[in-house]
Structure 1
C-alpha cells in the first residue's frame, strides 16, 4: 500500500476555518454524544485516561474523573468516529477511525499528524477496530486484515496481512493481543496466532488458526492470562492451555456474547452479555459479578490495578472514592438529529429520531436531555421524531407515545389515554403525531401519521382536548407528515408514504368547529412539472409567503398560495427552482431532505447525499455549498436544519452528530446603539470585506470621509449584520472613515467609524 501523505494540523485547521463565500463569518463547531465508548487508553505518566467514542475523543483526570478536553473533527480528529486508540513508544496517541483515517496526537506538543492510506485505499471495510504496539511498530486491525505501521516515520511495513492460516481471506480483525513475541488475533471467521520473530506474516502458513465452534464466527476478544489464551465470540468463550482448546467451565458464560477480555492485576475480567465477571486461574469455573448489569463495551486497567469500564450509554465508569462513577462530556443524548427547532429565546431543541434517543435542548453552553428515565412525564417511549417551538411552547412529537407539551419547566404528555388524540387500528393506545406548526393566531396544529378515526389533522384547543378534521376523500389513506402555515393560515402538509403521495393544503376559514366552510386541495406528485417527483420530503413558507417544497427532484415554489384556497380546482402551478450559472438558469435537481429559511429569508437546503446548499432569498443564486469534501460538516446526508436568529448559528442535523456554522443571519436590532466595524483597522489589500454590525431592519448605509464625501452607499440584507462588498475593490486612502446607517424614512440613524491602513 502506497503511503498517500500526512497533513499537518495547521493545514487542516486552515482548511476547516477558511471562508468560502458571500462574506459570511464562518466558524464551525461539532456537537456529539461521546457516551458510546469504543476504546480506552491509560496514560499513567500524565495522569490521564483517554476515551475513544462514536462522537469523538475525550480525556479525563485519572484521579478525579474530571473531563479535561474534547476532540472532534473540528479540534484535531480527521473524522468524528473514534474506534480505537493506542499510545506509541514516542509519546503519541494514535486514534483509528471508522473511515480508516488515523489521527496522531503528540501528547507533549499537542500537535496532530494524519495518515490517510487506509481511508484512501480501495478496501471495502476500512474501519480500524484495534491497534497494538510492538517495539517500533503499530499493528492495526482493520475490516480486511492487519496493517503494520512504523511509529518512527509512519511508513507501512509489508503488504497488508490478508490471510491467517486457513481462515477466510480479508476477514475483519476485531482484536489484537501481543504477548511474548506472539501476535494473537480475533477475526470475523476465527482465531489465529503467529510468532513475530523471524517469520513472514504475509505467508498464510505462518499463522496457526482455529475456527471450531463457537470461534467459527464473530470472534471479538482475545487475551493471554497465566499461559492461557482466552478467546471470546458472540456465541461463547474458549481457552487454550498451550495444548488443547477447552470449553470455558461455567455454563453462565460458555455460550454467552463475550465482548471483551482483560487482565486486571491477578484476575481475569470479561464482559459476558450485559454483565462483567472476574475469575482467577486457580479455578475458572468460579466467576464473580463485579458491577451491576449494563451495556458494557470495554475493560482497561488503571496503574493501581483497578478496572475501568466503557459503556454504550453512560461513557466510562471509573472508581472514585470507592464508588463507580459514570463519566462523559456534556452533550446530546444521541448522535441522531432527526428534527431541529429554535425557540423564542434562541434555545435549540432536537428530536433524536432514535427509538431510545428522546429529545434534547442546547442553550449555547449546556445540553439537557429528555428521556423517560430522566423525565418520566414526557410520556411512553423515547421515539421522538419531530419537535416544534413557538410562542413560548415546545411540542415534542413521540412516534407511538403522543404529543408532549413543554412550557417552561412544565411537561405534559397527551395521548389517547388522557386526551382525544387518536390511536391506530389494532392498537388504540399507539398515537403517532408526525408534524406540526403554529398558525398566525398562536394555535398549534399537528398531523398524525396513521389514525383509527379517519382524522389526520388536529389542532390543540388549549386544555387537554384537540379538534380533529375529517379527512377528505383526496387523503383518506394518506400518511400526513411535516406542516407549514402561510399568512392566510392555510396549512401545507406533506403526504408521505401511503397513497396518495403529494402535498395537501387545508384552510378552516377561521372556524375550527364549523367544517362546512373548510377548504382543501391536493397536489399529486405528477402536478410538479418536469416529472421525476416521487417523494415530497419537506415544506416551508418563506418570508414572502411563498410555499417552498423539498422533493427527491429539487425544490419547487408555489408563488401565490392564496390562489389555492380561492379556487382549489385551479390551484397555482409549482415552479421548479433554477439557479443562475453563468448566463443560464439551471434546474436544481438534488434529492432534498429538508429546508428552512433564516432571518434574511435566505434558504438552506439539506440533501440526501450532497450536504447543504445555501441559496439567496429569491432562489436565483447559490451562495454556498457545504459537504464532507469541502467543510467539516459531519455527513452529506442532512436530516434537519435550523438557523438561530439570535446569533446567526446554522445547525445541520445528521445521523452522525450536529454541525454548527456561524453566519451573519442575525435578527436586526429595534434601535441603533453602537455600530461596530471589523476588521478595524481595515488593512489593504485585504482578504476579507468590512463587516458592519449593529443594524436595524432594512438599513441603508453610507460610507463617508471625515469631510462628508460619500464613498459608497448600499442596502443591508435586512439583518443585524451587513458586509461592505466593495471595501476591497475601491482605491481607499489611509485614514478614518464614517459609517452612517438609517432606516427608510430617516427617523432612526446610527453611526460608526473605521480606519484604513494602506500598505
Structure 2
C-alpha cells in the first residue's frame, strides 16, 4: 500500500495569513493594480484576472506597509514600510530591498508622509526633509535634511518645492546644492493637499480581494476540533486604545475564514470592543464563548446570542471604569460544557461559572483580591483545565503576578504569590505571570518575565507555603558541571506544547524558542530576521495537532511554521499512517514526513529487498526522512517500505514511499 499526500505543506515551511480587507490605496501599473490593504500588498491583473499576494514568505523584506507608489518610467513599485524599510517590486515580480534608509541614523522623524515621482526618481517627503531614491538603480541618491517636517514635495519648472504644515512652503533651484538647507527659502504658506483613491480603481480592488482574515489582530488563539479560533484583543496591548470586537476562525483544511458577527452594538445596547479570550463548548462545537473588555458574549454558529455586563447581570465593571469596562479577560470550558471565566478588577467578583444549564454561579474568593488596589486580580490570562480537571490561570499584572489553581470538585483554591526555585532562590517576577500550560507529562509550566518555571505533576496540589517551582537547569556540557536556567531572563508571553512534548515559547521582543522534550536542547530560535516570523513580539501560539502546523499571533499579524511533530495516534494503521510528499519527485531534497505514528514508535525504512536505509524514533506522531541512506547518500529511485513498531514492541503498519530521481 502506498501512503501519502502531496497537498500538505512541507516540514520547515512558513506561511502568512494576512488580512486584505481594508483597501487603503491602489496604484495602476499597466494592466496590473497594486493594492495596499490592511497594511499588506496584493495585485490584481485586469488582463487575466489573476490575484497575487506579497508577504515575507514570498519575497517581501518586512511587514506593515505604510506607502506604495508606481513609477511609470522604470516600471516599478516602491514599497515603504512603517519601520522605514524600503522594497522595490518590478513588473516581473522581482523584489529588491533598500535597507539604507531603515538603518540610517538620522536626527528627526523618518516617517514617510508622501511619495512624488519624477522620471526615474522617487522623492520621499519625511518628518525631517526629503529622500531621493533612484528607482532604476535601486539606490538612495540623496538625502535633503531640511530639519523640518515635509508633508509633500513636487517639481515645477526648474524648482523643487517642499510643503510643510509646520513651516510653510519652501523651494530651491534644481541646479543648486540641495543638500545645503541654506539653498532652500520660504516662498509662501502651506496649502494642504488631500488624496483620494480613484473610485473606479477602488471598486475594482475591493471586488477582487484575496481570501484571508478581516483584521491582522490575534491576541489570543486556541486550536480546537479542527479549527483555529482567534480573537483580536487590545490594539498593541497598550493604554486605553480600543479594537472592535473580532472573532476570526480558520479552517486549515480548506483555508477558509469565518468572521463572527461583529456589528452587535445595536442588539447588545452597549459597545463590543477588545475581545480578549475565546473557547469552544466540547459538547456543542457551534457554541462559542468570548470574553472582552466590555463583558461576556455568547455565539452560536458565528451569530451573536446574548451578552452579560455590569448593567444586565451581576458581573461588575472594573474599579474606576465606565459601563464599557466589564473586564472578562480569560475563560475556559470544562469537559461538561460549563464555561469558567474571570471578571477582573472588580470590587467583589472574580471567578464565575456559566453552567451548561444556563445559570451564572459566582466562585469568588477573598484570595483573588489585590488588597493594595482593592480589586480582583487584574489581567487574568491563560485560563485552562489540566488533565486532573484543575483550573489554572495567571495574573499578568505587575502588582499581583500570581498563579492560581482552583479545584471545582472541592471549591478549594491555591494562590501562588511567591516563586522560590529548587535552589531556595526567590525568582523575581516583576512584570507579571504571563501564561500557563500543561505538558504531556502533566507538569504545569508558567511563563514569566524572568523566564519559564514549572511545577512537577506530583506537586501541583501542594499548598503555597510548600510549593517549589522548578527552573530547569540546562547543562553547559563544557566539563565544569555547571548549568544555566532555561531561558533565564526571557520574557515569555505565551507557550504551547506539541505532540512531541516540546515547548514553544513566544516572547516579548525575542521571537520564538522551541525547546526539546527533555528541556536540554534549544532546537530553534526564530526571529523576524532569520525566519518567516512576522514580528519578534509574539502574543499567542496554537498548534494543529494533526499536521504539526504551529500558529504565531504577533503584533504584525498571523503566520505559521510547519513543524516536524504531530499528535500521536493510539493505533498505527492504513487510515492514520501516511507519508508526504509521495511520490518523491525528481529534484526534491526536502523532508519526507511520515505521520500518524504512536508515541515513541520505532521507524525503519527499507528497500524492497529489505536493506535498511534509515531508522529512528517518532517525534510525537511524526518521523522525518530526507531521502538518504545510513551514510547520508541520496537513495536510488525505487519503492521504500516504512515499517513501524510501537514503544511496547507491537508491530504497527507498513506503507510504501516511491522515490523518483
Short-chain TM bin: 0.7 to 0.9
User: Of 394, 398, 403, which aligns to 2:292?
Assistant: 398
Q: Alignment RMSD, CA only? A: 3.4
- Contact 1:405/1:413 (8 A) holds in 2: no
Cα distance in 1 for partners of 2:629, 2:227 equals 34
Instruction: Please list, as runs of the form range in 1=range in 2, the aligned pairs for 1:552-571 lying within 5 A after superposition.
Output: 552-560=449-457, 563-565=459-461, 567-568=462-463, 570-571=465-466
TM-score when scaled to structure 1?
0.73
Which residue number corresponds to residue 281 of structure 1? none
Alpha-carbon distance change, 564 to 68 in structure 1, aligned in 2, over 3 angstroms? closer
Which residue number corresponds to residue 594 of structure 2? 692
- Contact 1:184/1:191 (8 A) holds in 2: no
- Contact 1:602/1:616 (8 A) holds in 2: yes
Cα distance in 2 for partners of 1:98, 1:338 equals 21
The unaligned stretches of length 5 or more in structure 2 are: 1-8, 236-241
Alpha-carbon shift at residue 467 of structure 1 (Å): 1.3
1:120-177 Cα distance to aligned partner (Å, 9 max, x none): 211364443322121332212233321222233234334x1111xxxxx1x3433223
1:318-367 Cα distance to aligned partner (Å, 9 max, x none): 3x7xxx97775443333222111112122332334342332222223233
Which residue number corresponds to residue 531 of structure 1? 427
Which residue number corresponds to residue 185 of structure 1? 162
2:251 is the alignment partner of 1:363: yes
Alpha-carbon distance change, 695 to 486 in structure 1, aligned in 2, over 3 angstroms? closer
- Contact 1:144/1:162 (8 A) holds in 2: yes
Which residue number corresponds to residue 299 of structure 1? 196
Which residue number corresponds to residue 5 of structure 2? none
Cα distance in 2 for partners of 1:175, 1:422 equals 50
Which residue number corresponds to residue 520 of structure 1? 413
Alpha-carbon shift at residue 611 of structure 1 (Å): 0.5
Q: Secondary structure at the match of 1:636?
A: coil
Alpha-carbon distance change, 405 to 161 in structure 1, aligned in 2, over 3 angstroms? same
Which residue number corresponds to residue 633 of structure 1? 533
Alpha-carbon shift at residue 724 of structure 1 (Å): 4.1
More deviation, 406-415/674-683: 674-683
Alpha-carbon shift at residue 424 of structure 1 (Å): 4.2
2:79 is the alignment partner of 1:102: no
2:341 is the alignment partner of 1:446: yes
2:23 is the alignment partner of 1:40: no
Greater relative CO (CA pairs within 8 A, separation 6+): 2
Which residue number corresponds to residue 497 of structure 1? 397
2:95 is the alignment partner of 1:112: yes
Q: Secondary structure at the match of 1:118?
A: helix
Alpha-carbon shift at residue 626 of structure 1 (Å): 0.8
Which residue number corresponds to residue 577 of structure 1? 472
Cα distance in 1 for partners of 2:140, 2:553 equals 37
Q: Secondary structure at the match of 1:194?
A: strand
1:206-237 Cα distance to aligned partner (Å, 9 max, x none): 3232686xx5xxxxxxxxxxxxxxx12xxxxx
2:67 is the alignment partner of 1:90: no
Cα distance in 2 for partners of 1:373, 1:724 equals 49
User: Of 563, 582, 605, which aligns to 1:703?
Assistant: 605
User: Of 188, 194, 198, which aligns to 2:175?
Assistant: 198
Cα distance in 1 for partners of 2:257, 2:187 equals 48
1:674-733 Cα distance to aligned partner (Å, 9 max, x none): 63265765999x9655532343454322233444455554321221x2124894653667
User: Of 465, 489, 493, which aligns to 1:593?
Assistant: 493
User: Of 315, 321, 324, which aligns to 1:421?
Assistant: 315
- Contact 1:437/1:445 (8 A) holds in 2: yes
Which residue number corresponds to residue 653 of structure 2? 750
Alpha-carbon distance change, 24 to 540 in structure 1, aligned in 2, over 3 angstroms? farther
Alpha-carbon distance change, 712 to 325 in structure 1, aligned in 2, over 3 angstroms? closer
User: Of 120, 134, 143, which aligns to 2:127?
Assistant: 143
Alpha-carbon distance change, 564 to 195 in structure 1, aligned in 2, over 3 angstroms? closer
- Contact 1:139/1:149 (8 A) holds in 2: yes
2:556 is the alignment partner of 1:656: yes
Which residue number corresponds to residue 173 of structure 1? 150
More deviation, 131-140/378-387: 378-387
Which residue number corresponds to residue 263 of structure 2? 373
Alpha-carbon shift at residue 569 of structure 1 (Å): 5.3
Instruction: Please list, as runs of the form range in 1=range in 2, the aligned pairs for 1:60-71 lying within 5 A after superposition.
Output: 60=44, 68-71=51-54
Alpha-carbon shift at residue 205 of structure 1 (Å): 3.4
Which residue number corresponds to residue 27 of structure 1? 13
Q: Secondary structure at the match of 1:104?
A: strand
Alpha-carbon shift at residue 506 of structure 1 (Å): 1.8
Alpha-carbon distance change, 633 to 211 in structure 1, aligned in 2, over 3 angstroms? farther
- Contact 2:216/2:557 (8 A) holds in 1: yes
Alpha-carbon shift at residue 195 of structure 1 (Å): 4.6
Alpha-carbon distance change, 197 to 450 in structure 1, aligned in 2, over 3 angstroms? closer
- Contact 1:131/1:138 (8 A) holds in 2: yes
- Contact 1:30/1:658 (8 A) holds in 2: yes
User: Of 72, 81, 86, which aligns to 2:55?
Assistant: 72
Alpha-carbon distance change, 757 to 84 in structure 1, aligned in 2, over 3 angstroms? closer
- Contact 2:605/2:641 (8 A) holds in 1: yes
Cα distance in 1 for partners of 2:377, 2:474 equals 32
Alpha-carbon distance change, 472 to 748 in structure 1, aligned in 2, over 3 angstroms? farther
Alpha-carbon distance change, 67 to 675 in structure 1, aligned in 2, over 3 angstroms? closer
Cα distance in 1 for partners of 2:396, 2:233 equals 20
Alpha-carbon shift at residue 116 of structure 1 (Å): 1.4
More strand by share: 1
User: Of 312, 316, 328, which aligns to 1:433?
Assistant: 328
Which residue number corresponds to residue 672 of structure 1? 573
- Contact 2:273/2:294 (8 A) holds in 1: no
Alpha-carbon distance change, 569 to 76 in structure 1, aligned in 2, over 3 angstroms? closer
Which residue number corresponds to residue 227 of structure 2? 346
- Contact 1:55/1:72 (8 A) holds in 2: no
- Contact 1:337/1:353 (8 A) holds in 2: no
- Contact 1:58/1:67 (8 A) holds in 2: no
Which structure would you say has the larger Rg? 1
Alpha-carbon distance change, 210 to 58 in structure 1, aligned in 2, over 3 angstroms? farther
Alpha-carbon distance change, 698 to 421 in structure 1, aligned in 2, over 3 angstroms? farther
1:25-61 Cα distance to aligned partner (Å, 9 max, x none): 1221222333455543233x32x33223453212346
Which residue number corresponds to residue 207 of structure 1? 184
- Contact 1:580/1:621 (8 A) holds in 2: no
